[in-house]
Amino acid sequence: MARVALVTGGSRGIGEAISKALKAAGYSVAATYAGNDEAAAAFTKATGIKTYKWNVADYDSSAEGIKQVEADLGPIDVVVANAGITRDAPFHKMTPTQWKEVIDTNLTGVFNTVHPIWPGMRERKFGRVIVISSINGQKGQFAQVNYAATKAGDLGIVKSLAQEGARAGITANAICPGYIATEMVMAVAEKVRESIIAQIPTGRLGEPEEIARCVVFLASDDASFINGSTISANGGQFFV
């Protein structure tokens, strides 16, 4: 039987590419989203992948949603915690709301996504946890104190889960994308985007599919001894 994969924020951007790549690799895929019903409907129409709407920042909604996915598709073998947001501002202008929204979605959202799935993975002695962090969690970024804190925190989650899950056949790994051509990046002013591209040795933004292929590898049996790792996929922009 096909393994089951859950991709949060799997209807748009990097998540959309991940959902499609996992489906192409033979997984039974569920993709979640927050509120953009139109994009989710178009995604399902184009791919045949079912979408589920819940806010990853809310534990009870996540647990309920995951229960529904497992009722529909079966136990989740692969979870990709991809949903994320930005609320950028220089630190002196950053509001407590901007701080909290990003922490709740990008950091607590990972807890809320993995925690309800974890006991089942432990029981079945198999699991793949893949968290989409960011280059800016590795190096920090101007006007992203909130975002960088969450993405660095995501790496801490993965390294700890790797130790806790290892004996139960579960691996936990992170991917740190550099700048990828999604709405999140295309929304910044063209001048800013040009200055970003100038810092990338490869001379271009990454494509969502280039991150999706990393996910498919980490989810596969070929990656069975990779645990607690971070794949940096950033066109040579930053080395750890």
Identify the CA nearest to 172 among candidates 110, 228, 133, 108: 228
Asked if 132 interacts with ligand NDP (CB under 6 A), we say: yes
Least Å distance, CB 167 to ligand NDP, is 29
Least Å distance, CB 71 to ligand NDP, is 19
Give, for 119, the enclosing helix (H) or strand (E).
Answer: helix 118-124
Asked if 180 interacts with ligand NDP (CB under 6 A), we say: yes
140/169 with CB nearer ligand NDP: 140
Least Å distance, CB 39 to ligand NDP, is 5
Rounded CA-CA distance 94/71 in Å is 41
How large is the C-alpha radius of gyration of the chain? 17
Name every residue whose Cβ is closer than 8 Å to that of residue 6 and which is 6 or more positions away in sequence: 29, 30, 32, 66, 69, 76, 78, 79, 80, 113, 117
Rounded CA-CA distance 67/59 in Å is 12
Asked if 11 interacts with ligand NDP (CB under 6 A), we say: yes
83/126 with CB nearer ligand NDP: 83
Q: Which of 112, 134, 138, 230 binds ligand NDP (CB under 6 A)?
A: 134
- What are phi and psi for residue 29, nearest 5 degrees? -110, 140
Alpha helices in 134-227 (DSSP H): 135-139, 145-165, 183-186, 190-198, 208-219
Asked if 112 interacts with ligand NDP (CB under 6 A), we say: no
Q: Which of 82-90, 91-99, 119-127, 192-200 is the region at the interface with ligand NDP (rule: CB under 6 A)?
A: 82-90
Least Å distance, CB 148 to ligand NDP, is 11
Catalytic residue, chosen from 33, 52, 147, 179, is 147
59 is an active site residue: no
Least Å distance, CB 160 to ligand NDP, is 19
Identify the CA nearest to 179 among candidates 199, 152, 161, 150: 199
Q: Which of 34-42, 70-78, 114-122, 162-170 is the region at the interface with ligand NDP (rule: CB under 6 A)?
A: 34-42
170/180 with CB nearer ligand NDP: 180
36/229 with CB nearer ligand NDP: 36
**Which residues are tagged catalytic?**
147
